[in-house]
Amino acid sequence: MFNVLKTFIARAGLTPYNVARKRGELKYLLLTESTSNDG
């Protein structure tokens, strides 16, 4: 799962946020998982 996200972030050209420089686009990822089995 994380390898897929890492690849997506790289392909999308998102720059991780740098607090010291106050620059970048990506601050965090919020992932959720459904507990439903309804496909």
SS3 4: helix
Amino acid at 21: R
Q: Per-residue pLDDT tens for 6-35?
A: 999 999 999 999 999 999 999 999 999 888
Instruction: Please check the confidence at residue 39 and state whether its pLDDT lies above 70.
Output: no
Phi-psi region of 32 (alpha: psi -120 to 50; beta: other; left: phi over 0): beta
pTM of the model: 0.58
Q: Can you give the pLDDT at residue 38?
A: 74
Task: Determine the Cα–Cα distance for residues 30 and 1; give it in Å rounded to an integer.
Answer: 13
Q: Which residues contact 39 (CB under 8 A, 6 or more apart)?
A: none
